[in-house]
Structure 1
Amino acid sequence: MSKKLLTAAVAAFFFTGCSSQPPANSNNLCSVFQDKDGWYVAAHKVHAKYGIPIDTAMAILAQNSKLSTQDNGLFDGLTSAVGLGNEGFLVVSDEIWQQYKDEAGTFLSDRGSFADALDFMGWYMNKAKERSGVALCDAYNQYIVYREGFEAFNARTYTAKDWLLKEASEVRTRASEYRQQLLRCNLY
């Protein structure tokens, strides 16, 4: 095997190993947790730590990343152009990511780690409750705060963004479906 071919094979293996493939069926949370066993454990740890509903946090992540760290194409380019970090499962500003790491004491956190992304969601959802009065179980408004930030949410600038209101409705519906699915899951 030529040196160039070997180098290409190693690089391909490395880069595909660094991204997370989406679950086979992201519309069913039981299937997601069966596919990604470590995610189930991480979700329960974050629920215990922050008191967030698993269904709400997972619905937000599903809307945001399709539960994958794969390249999101045009969306990634747009988020980079406006100063948002688009690595891994999260699309958040580098500033808010750093604030999370500082306040939560998670200096080695990585947006490409599902457990770290979910921990961020727990922290951020509690900030939304504290700073914007959004209940932890309010998937619709938690999603809007996540996408807009606290100040924009509090100023209600999102009301003119039909696309965002539609996405928030999708998150609310998915969270409700996830909640019902979790009640029927028999994972362990």
Structure 2
Amino acid sequence: MSATPRDVILWSFLGSFSLLSGCASSPPGDINNICSIFKEKKGWYKSAKASEKRWGTPVHVQMAILRQESAFRDDAQPPRGRLLGFIPWSRPSSAYGYPQAKDDTWDWYIRKTGNRGADRDDFADAVDFVGWYTTITHDKLGISKWDAKHQYLAYHEGHGGYLKRSYRNKAWLLKVSDKVDRQAKRYARQLKSCEQDLDKGWSFWPF
């Protein structure tokens, strides 16, 4: 059966919508430059600043944690295990989205903040989560909100794990935490060069 003009229009619309949806959720082109990130993902600066104002964790620390956890991919998940070495199996945890938060931790966040309907694949919710979690870390463990290295260790290991110093036997994790610290410092330097322009423009961004 040949397609009618109406069918062609509908298919074109759906195809365009899918393409736009894919672009909307794609990660930034340069995830190592915070100015490029915020200029490309215009609504993100507003969300990160709102989280900073609410929780006190600086933007560059929040962004360094998210960059390490998901590389700013909204649907990021741990890779599946392999049964018998080749059969795709279950994932090692329920971590998901920009913050790679597990189901129970995300539910805890929603209960404590009242942010009902929050989604891990929504950047505004994800960055608010990081601000909230790092605040809990500061209150429970006394780690400065500006200390990206130790904030990340507590983020990765959980507060109980950090108290037990579980990271001491994980050389790979210590290297990653150093990487997060370097990234946070790099973001902080970069942000100084564009923050004034971002502050001028963010209130005019429609999303």
TM superposition score category, shorter chain reference: 0.7 to 0.9
The separation in 1 between residues aligned to 2:58 and 2:105, in whole angstroms, is: 22
Aligned residues of 2:55 and 2:135 also touching (Cα < 8 A): yes
Partner of 1:25: 30
Q: What is the number of equivalent residue pairs in this alignment?
A: 181
Aligned residues of 2:73 and 2:98 also touching (Cα < 8 A): yes
Shift of 1:134: 1.1
Partner of 2:205: none
Alignment match of 1:181 (pick from 176, 185, 190)? 190
Cα deviations across residues 23-43 of structure 1 (Å, max 9, x unaligned)?
111111011000011001001
4+ runs of 1 displaced by more than 6 Å?
none
Cα deviations across residues 65-101 of structure 1 (Å, max 9, x unaligned)?
11122445xx3426x6333332x21212211110100
2:140 is aligned with 1:131: yes
Q: Please, what TM-score do these two structures have when normalized by structure 2?
A: 0.79
The separation in 2 between residues aligned to 1:133 and 1:144, in whole angstroms, is: 13
Q: Please, what TM-score do these two structures have when normalized by structure 1?
A: 0.87
The separation in 2 between residues aligned to 1:182 and 1:85, in whole angstroms, is: 29
In structure 2, relative to structure 1, the CA distance for the partners of 1:166 and 1:85 (3 Å cut) is same
Aligned residues of 2:29 and 2:37 also touching (Cα < 8 A): yes
Q: Percent of aligned positions with the same letter in both sequences?
A: 34
In structure 2, relative to structure 1, the CA distance for the partners of 1:131 and 1:28 (3 Å cut) is same
2:93 is aligned with 1:83: yes
Aligned residues of 2:167 and 2:173 also touching (Cα < 8 A): yes
Partner of 2:116: 107
Cα deviations across residues 14-57 of structure 1 (Å, max 9, x unaligned)?
49726721111111101100001100100111111111110000
2:78 is aligned with 1:69: no
The separation in 1 between residues aligned to 2:58 and 2:111, in whole angstroms, is: 24
Partner of 1:146: 155
